[in-house]
Structure formats: C-alpha cells, structure tokens
Amino acid sequence: MLTVFSEKHALHAPANELAGGGFRAPVEIPQRAEAVREGLLSFGGGTLCKPDDLHKPDDFGSEMILAIHDSDYVEFLRTIWQAWNAAGNKNDVVPSVWPSRSMPGRTVPPAHDLEGRVGYYALAAETTIQEGTWQAAYWAAQTALTATAAVRNGLGAAFGLCRPPGHHASKNQYGGYCFLNNAAIAAQDFIHAGAERVAVLDVDFHHGNGTQEIFYDRKDVYYISLHGDPEHTFPNFLGYADERGSGVGEGFNLNFPYPPGTGWNLWQEGLNQACRYYTDYGAEALVVSLGVDTFHNDPLSFFRLTQEDYLEAGRMIAQLNLPTVFILEGGYDIENIGENVSSYLAGFSQARKA
C-alpha cells in the first residue's frame, strides 16, 4: 500500500508529559512512527509495503489547514515556542490556566500574557510544545494531504503515516497529543475536490473530539467513532452517545462509547453498524482515523482487541468499497504498533484484491 511518511515527525519530541500529578516519560514519541514504518516494510515478508511504496509528502501549503483551523490558532502554533523561549522559559510550553466554566467572561486570548494565551489554545495539559512541534505538525498535515491526493487521483487506498496525531485537535485548540487535525484536513480535501458525502470513521481508542467538533453542524462529512466511554477516559467531556450533530448536521455524528473490558464481539457490532450507515449515506470517500490503542496491551487502553481482530476490521472496512485514506492516530505499545497497523492495512488489502 502506498504510504506517505515524513522524517520531520521527529522534530516533535516531548521531554515529558503531565499525568497522575507529575511529569512522566511521554508515550507519544518519535519511536512510534519509526516502528510503524519498519513494521509495514517487514509485514508479510515485505509484501504489504515495499520500499518503493514509501513516499515523502508534497507541500500543499496552508489552504486546507486553514479550511479546518482558525488562522489565529495556526499562527499561535507557528510562533508560540519562539515567544515562550524569548520570554526566558527554559522548559517546553505547558498550559496552566484556562477560560474555565466559572470564567467565561473573555472569548479572546489575553493580548500579552503567554500563560493565558497558551491556556486559551489548549484543551488539556499533557501535550507540550517544543521548538520543532509546528514543523512536525505541518508535515503531518502534508502527509495526510499527499495520501489523499493519491486516492483522489485514482489509487484505491493510501496510508498517511502521520505524527503527531490529529483527531483531538479542534478548530482552535490542541491537546491529546494533537495539533492539526490530519483526518479532518483529508476529509476537507475530498470536499474541496467536489465530493459531497465523506465518511470519517474513527477507530482510535479515544473519541476524536476535535473531528466531531469540526464537522458537528455539517452533513457533507459523517463522523462515526468507536471509543472508550469518556466517563472512564480522555477526552471525558465529549464523545457521548447522545451527541448526534446539530442543525443540518443532525444525524451525521455518531458515537459508540464502550466500557472497560470491551473486546471484539461488542466492538465489531459498532463497526458493522457504522459500515451500514455509511452505505445508506452514499459515502463517496472514506477517511479512517486509524488508532491502534484499542490493543489489549496498550498502556492507555482498556479495550481487548488483538492483531487477528485488526485483520478482520480491515476486511470489513474494505467491503465498503470506497476510495480510502488511512490516517495514523494513536497507539502506544511500541513493540506491537508496527504489526498492529500493518494488520489493519493487510486485512484491507487482501479483501480488496479478493
């Protein structure tokens, strides 16, 4: 399968992340993307992805990024580290104050205070910004756009090996290790090219709050997510079953939150339903937010999925018979992430050829 990969992902390398009341070793690290690349090349004796199938991203510029994200937010991401550093801060950018429920007075960021500006654009505190974060995020978006362009130009499917991930990034907030919403940018690119109904299927363990927010009042993008119940896990404040879209988008957002211990039997019912809804919808293209933190051994997950399950899930997705772009999201079991991602793509590829 054609795979787009940029070495620039490694420019985003968090030193630590806030969890459990202190800083710990981060889980969203450059080794993830390298392990996926190596896993793809070695999977099935090298039959899934050959060295020739690996492509560097082209530079499509900022048009699609700005079609999804607010320009002031993009400017913030581009410039905050330099400002933070110039102000004498020695550590990575970490937010510490928010326009929270009891302080809704201001709906714009403070003009001068950096802590306030960071909090305004952050939705969580575990995600740090370093010198190379913007470059890495920009090239992850270009990676998604390059994979999408290949599919728009007639290839049946492609994989954007994006890092940092994207589905938690909203129109104007970062968090959950995400800065630019690569899957949303891919979906928008299909729309921009003339598609009227694009399916975004999110199989990451976490709810893609950013993707939901971005398309919540639209019907040209139908977002369906299978994820850990936010009563039990991040992002906690979005991803419930009663969130169905609004305005003309009502009925075009669907959440399947699942409890701790969820395995294949329950999970695949959701996937089956999602596929039926997409067929009824008349989807013209599919973007898959491909997170493999649903794996039974993942440090962030309480699901119990296996590599055999991923093969079968890939087959089910293939049966939609849609032009398909896979976008890498989460997955933190470094030892298995390469084979986990490959299993999805191999199941998909085998079913397409059959």
Whole-angstrom Cα distance, residue 234 to residue 168?
10
Which residues between 55 and 94 bind Zn ion (CB under 5 A)? none
- Catalytic residue list contains 69: no
Residue 330 binding Zn ion, by CB under 5 A: yes
Q: Which residues sit opposite 255 in a β-bridge?
A: 225
- Residue 228 engages Zn ion in binding (rule: CB under 5 A): no
Q: How far is the CB of 341 from Zn ion (least distance, A)?
A: 13
Should residue 249 be labelled a site residue for Zn ion when binding is judged by CB under 5 A? no
23 DSSP β-pair partners: 18
Q: Is position 166 an interface residue for Zn ion (rule: CB under 5 A)?
A: no
**Interaction mask 178-217, Zn ion, x per CB under 5 A:** --------------------------xxx-----------
How many residues touch Zn ion under the rule CB under 5 A: the total is: 6
Which residue's CB is nearer to Zn ion, number 234 or number 278?
Answer: 234
219 within 8 A of 252, measured Cβ to Cβ = yes
229 counts as binding Zn ion under rule CB under 5 A: no
* By the rule CB under 5 A, 28 interacts with Zn ion: no
Site for Zn ion in 281-300 (CB under 5 A): 291, 293
Residue type, 142: Q
Closest to 184 (Cα-Cα) out of 230, 224, 144, 156: 144
Provide, rounded to whole angstroms, the least separation between the CB of residue 290 and Zn ion. 10
Residue nearest to Zn ion (CB): 330
Structure tokens at 21: 């009341």
Q: How far is the CB of 291 from Zn ion (least distance, A)?
A: 4
252, 222 Cβ separation under 8 angstroms: yes
- Closest approach, Cβ 331 to Zn ion, in A, equals 7
Indicate whether 34 belongs to the interface with Zn ion (CB under 5 A): no
The single residue of 168, 206, 207, 227 carrying the catalytic annotation is 168
Q: Which of 189, 204 has the CB closer to Zn ion?
A: 204
Are the C-beta atoms of 205 and 294 separated by less than 8 Å? Answer: yes
DSSP letters spanning 303-350: --B-HHHHHHHHHHHHTT---EEEEE-----HHHHHHHHHHHHHHHHH
Closest residue by Cα to residue 281 from 211, 213, 193, 222: 222
Q: Kindly state the smallest distance separating residue 225's Cβ from Zn ion, in Å.
A: 11
Q: What is the DSSP string of 32-89?
A: HHHHHHHHHHHGGGGTS--GGGEEPPP--TTHHHHHHS-HHHHHHHHHHHHHHHHTT-
Which residue type does 227 have?
Answer: H
Which residue number, 30 or 99, has a Cβ lying nearer to Zn ion? 30
Per rule CB under 5 A, is residue 235 in the interface with Zn ion? no
Q: Considering only 27-35, 98-106, 258-266, 327-335, which stretch makes contact with Zn ion by CB under 5 A?
A: 327-335
Residues that bind Zn ion (CB under 5 A): 204-206, 291, 293, 330
Q: Which residues are catalytic?
A: 168
